[in-house]
Structure 1
Amino acid sequence: MAVLHSPGMTVGRTIGKVVAWIVAVLIILIAALMLFIFTFDWNLARPLVNEKTSEAIGRPFAIEGDLTVGWHRPAGETGWRAWVLWPSFSARHITIANPDWTKNKHFATLDRIDFQVKVLPLLTHDIIIPTITLTNPAIDLERLVDGRNNWTFKLKSSARPLEWKLDLHDIWLNRGNIALSDQQLKIDMQVVLNTLGQPIPIGEALKQQEEKSRGASADAVGKEGAKQLSAQAKAAAPKASEGSSSVVASGAARAPGPAAASGTATAVVQQKSVPQYGIGWSANGTYKHSPVSGSGKLGGVLALQDTSRPIPVQADFKAGDLRVALVGTVTNPAHLAAVDLRLWLQGSSLDRLYQLTGITLPQTPPYATEGHLIGNIRSGSSVLRYEHFTSRVGGSDVNGTVEYTQRQPRPLIEGELVSNLLQFKDLAPVIGADSNASKARRGETARQPSYKAVPTEGFKTDRWTAIDADVKFTGRRMIKDPALPITDLYTHVVMKDGVLSLEPLKFGVAGGALASNIQLNGSTTPLKGRFSTQARHLKLKQLLPTVKTMESALGEIDGDAELSATGNTPAALAATSNGEVKLLVTDGTISRLLMEEAGLNVANVVYEKLYGNRDVYINCAAADFVVTDGVLDSHVFALDTQDAVINIGGKVNMKNESMDLGVHPHTKGFRIFTLRSPLYVKGTFKNPHVGVNTTALALRGGAMIGLGLINPFAALIPLIAPSNHKSLPCGQLMTAMQSEQPTAPPPGQRQRSSGLRLPAGTPGAATAEPSASTPAVAASRSSAPSKKTTPSNGGAALQSPANSADHTGS
């Protein structure tokens, strides 16, 4: 029987056969392609890869070992994507050449590189590499003095936008070496990387580093200082934990933050995934010809694309006498976008951090500090905050928070610092007033001459234009020599455009205050300075706390000074100073014994020491020094009491640090058997000499001998002191001192102020132009009775002048 075939069936079969053949061909082609891919010797492609890569980077590039490709199912993918195979590339013995001018042949060598590429994104021209593993990379970095470096590549430019985009996520390192030779920064360093035997949690590393850094602190500030620093850190921990945030590493574990500041390193929160270290490193070399060494750890993987994932870092290195240690996390390590670190520093002087950080800090004794460093680093606008840090500087504690802001034209550092226990001697290095042994310990080569009292160490004004500053410092309690009546300190340091200002520099002194406004313009050569000082309510009783004869003193001292000067050292500023200094003592009482000792009343001194001590009343005391080219001329220097008027005249030369003063007592009572005679104060600041004016004493002795030859009783006449009965015009002096403000010319100009003068006829008033070596005092013979005058305001209303002015005078 015949079978009929319809046309529709024939066409259907034909199409089916065609489809079947197409499918079969595709399967064969895919199989052939897969067979080719899996069996192809990719080493044949090395010349093409080397050529194209060398052309792209502008340097010879070569894969000298095997180039292989494998196919693997991706880890972490789900669903049908888990069945899409990813190619895995592996290349061995890779080299990248250096420019001709470098010392070494290769910029980088690599034993092996392994990475996978996602397949599906290739359809949109995206090359996504989740992870790349580098085995034993060796990198050589070089820079010459002229700025040429080997890490800048001349990449091939394209006339049209690149069709392919590379997206590299993570880098795994397996051993490695990095060499850095930078002639500009004077760095020569070798760094070795190696895989740790087993991962180390960040909490364990923090605890280890804390113990190690505390030992380093003991080397810097002594065991007792390190112990006190630890106690300070524990006390600061609650405050630190209240005011700061910590980076959350891997979305699960807290990075070392303020909680660790207390010394309780194990306080790091343990959650599902604690950041761990997988790579260790060590470094050795030199920085500015000084040895540098260090070691530390890194996370096992560097995240280049996931900027929200913190990477654990740890470092402990030493450069000269500076030691720096840190433990914490960074995000986006390629740019250090965010840092959250526990930071320790130890060294011989804070000013030596300038070479490392570019931040201008004062000279100090050896220090140790620890705190929490957080911030963001961006090109041109970085902000770093060292918060709630604690430190020991010499024998003092310093605590607070400082913030560094990168800006134009120069960075700014701001902060508030507090010292609860401040050693006065720790302030000496700030102006170079510490001992030569101390200078040597902090690395300063300048030495103070043995014959100079005023510091000769220069200000480092070249650093003042590197940064601006606005820092407040409070010293709540001062530890000092018992003879110093200083109790506390406050200053506001402002540095802008190379001008350093202390507005004010205020000391608590003898129950009162000594406040100065100081401006040092370091942008000029030589430095120009202006100094304005006010002394208020300084108690006589507390001014000389170790002198028993001052125990019953009740008066107060007030004063003002206005000076200008030029010079790059404290000694040079003193030697060129111009201006005026005024002092005023209000009414009160003072020990009679002290007064008699000043006048060498031998009989009264013996009497007071044997039978007791009475007090005398102070009517007033006043001093007015005019300063010209570093020479202080005492136009008025007098003390008026119930018993005597004492005048001091002469000059103090700060150029050669010499004194030539005369002390002239004028009795108000009738004295018998007195040897009251003028005294002199001569010598230098370092070696002063106080004695009796032998000429005047010899005249009395000669007169006594001559009269004794005529009549033995007449020999007593030279030892009888008649009364002047003339007091200082206290009210007039106080009014004049308050109304006539001290002045100073602009820096570099001479002072021409006539100063305050005693009225004619007053004991000690000048009757003739004084010489450089003779005190400008002459006793008045007026017999007018004295009258005590007490100003209603106590003489404490002296004010600093708003502007300086020149005056014509002697």
Structure 2
Amino acid sequence: MVGRRAKRWLLWLGTPLLAVALLVVSWSWDWFIPLVEARASAAVGRPVHIEHLRVKLGHVSTVTAEGLRIGNPSGFPDDPPFAEVRRATVQVDVGAFLRSREIVIPSVELDRPVVHVIGRDDGSRNYEFDFAAPVGEGAEASKAPGPRLGALRINDGKARVAIAWLRSDFEVDVKTQDRDGQDPALVAEARGTYAGQSIEAQMTGGAILNLRDGREPWPIDLRLRNGDTTFALQGTVREPLKLRGADLRVEFAGKDMADLIPLTGVPFPKTPPFRLEGKADYAEGRVRLFDAEGKVGRSDIGGSLSVSTAGSRPDVTADLRSRSVDLADLGGLIGTQPGRANTPGQTPHQRAAQARAEANPKLLPNTPVNMPRLTAANVHLRYRAERIQGQGMPFDSLSAETDIVDGVVSLHPVSFGIGQGRLTANGTLTPQEGGGLRAKIEVELRRADLSRLLGTTGAGGAGTLGGVARLEGSGKSLSEILGRGNGEATVVTVGGNISSLLVDLSGLQFGNALLSALGIPARESIECLIGDFALQRGTLRHRTLLLDTDAHVVTGAGTLDLGREQLDLRLRTDPKQPTVASLPTPIRIGGTLKNPAIQPELGEAAARAGAAVGLGLLFPPLALLPTIQLGVGENGQCERLQAAGERRRQPAQAPEGARLR
């Protein structure tokens, strides 16, 4: 009886236990793959595939997915997929979920992940995701706290990045590196091409999952080379994904600052070799570089620069300064080859460009304006240079305030110091249909030291020079704008003296020429100097050209064709008191702006009348008088000469043959 009962209990208990044992033995978590794939595909908006799924239950359970693939969006090929992972292992704290419904993931480990990033010419890209909330979970679900993530480890990860509009195609090796007492650090190396140039980069950062943690600074050490440009970034960021709390040191170096455009989005001009370092952070929606110091060619440069990308185009604000600047280093701003033939550190390409510039018979820059670069960003620039270096340079200092908004360049103003005076330019450069710019520029010269201007020619002198000029023109380069321009220019001076060398050029006296050749100073006092010109369709024609000293009168006439850069100018000197030693032979200044030629014009010596006749014919109406007073203040001698000219002209016009040509 007892035996039969025991057999019956064994049968009742054994059958379910056998069923459970058989279920455990044959159980496969792969049965849940279709459900997991469906939920994941709906969440990322593209197909997700898993080959095998394993779960190890416990207080902290381990979920392992093998052969994980995330596909491309519609319109991209299935192979290769956007991402594939040989094995993904995730630990889940089940106890925390049961106690407080909190999702805690102590660790995630990815073995051999591979990502393919593609951006096509038509703007389509495979790395944009449309993350949807799970079915039945709307706004309430979005308010729920996210999972608490622990360490993320990546073993032998790779990425391939090919973005057409960036002209980039490079590979990245990604892994994590264990650290004592800390979560694994992110380490990456890249190589390939970016912006059509070779790129190499190495980066060491903090823990990947700490990118969202603002409680402690996230360290970063980045070294990058793109073509001839090197970039280094080192420091910490407290909130990396928001670029807040940065304490970073930045270093740039390269052969041409224009190479920084694809790296920064800032439309830098062409420059000689440069080096720049400073601090960087992110504040008020702007990436800032401040406390910067460096060199561009032979010039030092420092200050601050900030960039905002919130609008339709980047907005750049720069406040820069130089203690000493070589204007040749800024040549890229007006279309010339920047730097000089002996600027250190230049590439063979830059030296060849310098040689071509030297061989070019034209002086005015004829490089077309790069309109896409001009409209690439809105720029607000303030620049100060305390000293301008270079032999023969008439300028002492430079200040500029310039805005570029929607491609329109506003100068307000650009100003050069000349002794105690200044040369100031205000105006606008407006983009035109079909390319090119429409220029409206006004220039004012106030109380410039004549000694600074004449010193660049090897001559000496003293006095004050002033004047005004106006230019309107259009073209694709500075040469075209001037070669098609209209306007006028007037310069006047008062008082002071002038070296005999200057009057020697117009054939004054043998004695003065001898003294100049020996280096013995011989000066004449300036009574009046006036140059008044009209610009019509690129040709600058004289209206008045006169230098009156205490002993001589130099008169001149001629044209300057700015389009062809051809000079045709004649000067004649007459002594106020004729002497046996005087030789009033006119001279002709011809040739080009880059290579002028000076020679006596003996055939016309007898055809010219004296200074009184020339003076009577050359002076224009009294409308010139306000310009004289604007530039240098009242000049009684210039006014008296002008009045005398008017009196001589009123009774009768001189014969046409007597006009100074």
Do residues 324 (structure 1) and 231 (structure 2) align? yes
Structure 1 range deviating more: 364-373 or 279-288: 279-288
CA distance in 1, matches of 2:149, 2:488: 70
Aligned residues: 614
- The one-letter amino acid paired with 1:534 is E
Give the direction of change, closer, same or farther, for the CA distance of 1:442–1:357 in structure 2 (3 Å limit): farther
CA distance in 1, matches of 2:422, 2:108: 67
CA distance in 2, matches of 1:296, 1:159: 40
Instruction: Report the equivalent of 2:154.
Output: 174
Instruction: Report the equivalent of 2:89.
Output: 114
- Deviation for aligned residue 1:766: 8.3
CA distance in 2, matches of 1:757, 1:287: 71
Q: Percent identity?
A: 26
Structure 1 range deviating more: 651-660 or 328-337: 328-337
User: Is the 2:482–2:562 contact (alpha carbons within 8 Å) kept by the matching residues of 1?
Assistant: yes
- Deviation for aligned residue 1:627: 0.6
3-state SS in 1 of match to 2:166: coil
Match of 1:422 among 310, 313, 325: 325
Deviations 1:590-613 (A, max 9, x none): 234643453242255347878965
Structure 1 range deviating more: 327-336 or 101-110: 327-336
Give the direction of change, closer, same or farther, for the CA distance of 1:555–1:344 in structure 2 (3 Å limit): same
Match of 1:142 among 115, 118, 123: 118
CA distance in 1, matches of 2:285, 2:61: 41
Q: How does 1:637-656 map to 2 (within 5 A)?
A: 637-656=545-564
Give the direction of change, closer, same or farther, for the CA distance of 1:34–1:191 in structure 2 (3 Å limit): farther
Instruction: Report the equivalent of 1:503.
Output: 412
CA distance in 2, matches of 1:408, 1:446: 41
CA distance in 2, matches of 1:303, 1:64: 30
Match of 1:527 among 407, 419, 437: 437
Do residues 777 (structure 1) and 652 (structure 2) align? no
Give the direction of change, closer, same or farther, for the CA distance of 1:157–1:603 in structure 2 (3 Å limit): closer
Do residues 663 (structure 1) and 561 (structure 2) align? no
Q: How does 1:720-735 map to 2 (within 5 A)?
A: none
Match of 2:397 among 477, 480, 488: 488
Give the direction of change, closer, same or farther, for the CA distance of 1:518–1:725 in structure 2 (3 Å limit): closer
- Deviation for aligned residue 1:776: 4.8
Q: How does 1:381-780 map to 2 (within 5 A)?
A: 382-434=285-337, 440-441=349-350, 448=357, 450-481=360-391, 483-522=392-431, 524=433, 525-545=435-455, 550=460, 553-592=461-500, 594-602=502-510, 605-606=513-514, 614-696=522-604, 736-739=623-626, 759=646, 761=648, 767=654, 776-777=659-660
CA distance in 1, matches of 2:92, 2:126: 29
Cα RMSD, aligned residues only:
4.0
Give the direction of change, closer, same or farther, for the CA distance of 1:561–1:776 in structure 2 (3 Å limit): farther
- The one-letter amino acid paired with 2:445 is A
3-state SS in 2 of match to 1:150: coil
Give the direction of change, closer, same or farther, for the CA distance of 1:304–1:367 in structure 2 (3 Å limit): closer
CA distance in 2, matches of 1:446, 1:610: 36
- The one-letter amino acid paired with 1:475 is A
User: Is the 2:212–2:240 contact (alpha carbons within 8 Å) kept by the matching residues of 1?
Assistant: no
Do residues 303 (structure 1) and 210 (structure 2) align? yes
- Deviation for aligned residue 1:47: 4.7
- Deviation for aligned residue 1:675: 2.9
- Deviation for aligned residue 1:450: 1.5
CA distance in 2, matches of 1:756, 1:659: 30
Deviations 1:719-759 (A, max 9, x none): xx998678969xx98974342599xxxxxxxxxxxx99953
Give the direction of change, closer, same or farther, for the CA distance of 1:319–1:756 in structure 2 (3 Å limit): farther
CA distance in 2, matches of 1:158, 1:196: 34
CA distance in 2, matches of 1:611, 1:112: 88
- The one-letter amino acid paired with 1:575 is G
3-state SS in 1 of match to 2:466: strand
- The one-letter amino acid paired with 2:218 is I
Give the direction of change, closer, same or farther, for the CA distance of 1:308–1:467 in structure 2 (3 Å limit): farther
Do residues 68 (structure 1) and 77 (structure 2) align? no
Give the direction of change, closer, same or farther, for the CA distance of 1:394–1:758 in structure 2 (3 Å limit): farther
Deviations 1:112-167 (A, max 9, x none): 32333343445776544344232322112223223333334566676632586652
Give the direction of change, closer, same or farther, for the CA distance of 1:404–1:443 in structure 2 (3 Å limit): farther
Instruction: Report the equivalent of 1:238.
Output: none
- The one-letter amino acid paired with 1:92 is E
3-state SS in 1 of match to 2:332: helix
- Deviation for aligned residue 1:665: 1.5
- Deviation for aligned residue 1:496: 1.6
CA distance in 2, matches of 1:592, 1:618: 11
3-state SS in 1 of match to 2:480: helix
CA distance in 2, matches of 1:670, 1:571: 44
3-state SS in 1 of match to 2:462: coil
User: Is the 1:279–1:297 contact (alpha carbons within 8 Å) kept by the matching residues of 2?
Assistant: yes
Structure 1 range deviating more: 512-521 or 605-614: 605-614
CA distance in 1, matches of 2:305, 2:41: 48
Instruction: Report the equivalent of 2:256.
Output: 349
3-state SS in 1 of match to 2:57: strand
CA distance in 2, matches of 1:759, 1:538: 29
Instruction: Report the equivalent of 1:88.
Output: 62
Q: How does 1:358-369 map to 2 (within 5 A)?
A: 358-369=265-276
Give the direction of change, closer, same or farther, for the CA distance of 1:355–1:529 in structure 2 (3 Å limit): same
- Deviation for aligned residue 1:431: 1.5
Deviations 1:404-462 (A, max 9, x none): 23343543222321111212321223223337977942998996472211111122222
CA distance in 2, matches of 1:548, 1:558: 21
CA distance in 2, matches of 1:92, 1:158: 23
TM-score where L is the length of structure 2 = 0.82
Give the direction of change, closer, same or farther, for the CA distance of 1:614–1:334 in structure 2 (3 Å limit): closer
What 5-or-longer segments of structure 1 have no aligned partner?
1-28, 72-84, 200-272, 701-720, 743-754, 779-810
- The one-letter amino acid paired with 1:739 is P
- Deviation for aligned residue 1:555: 1.8
3-state SS in 2 of match to 1:314: strand
- The one-letter amino acid paired with 2:36 is V
CA distance in 2, matches of 1:398, 1:434: 19
TM-score where L is the length of structure 1 = 0.68
Larger radius of gyration: 1
Deviations 1:646-668 (A, max 9, x none): 11101111010001111122221
What 5-or-longer segments of structure 2 have no aligned partner?
1-15, 630-641
3-state SS in 1 of match to 2:365: coil
Instruction: Report the equivalent of 1:191.
Output: 172
Structure 1 range deviating more: 345-354 or 97-106: 97-106
Deviations 1:566-601 (A, max 9, x none): 112111111012111000010222234643453242
Instruction: Report the equivalent of 2:637.
Output: none
- Deviation for aligned residue 1:532: 1.2
CA distance in 2, matches of 1:757, 1:627: 27
User: Is the 2:195–2:262 contact (alpha carbons within 8 Å) kept by the matching residues of 1?
Assistant: no
User: Is the 1:447–1:457 contact (alpha carbons within 8 Å) kept by the matching residues of 2?
Assistant: no
Instruction: Report the equivalent of 1:284.
Output: 191
- The one-letter amino acid paired with 2:424 is A
User: Is the 1:46–1:67 contact (alpha carbons within 8 Å) kept by the matching residues of 2?
Assistant: no
CA distance in 2, matches of 1:51, 1:610: 98
CA distance in 2, matches of 1:135, 1:349: 42
3-state SS in 2 of match to 1:599: coil
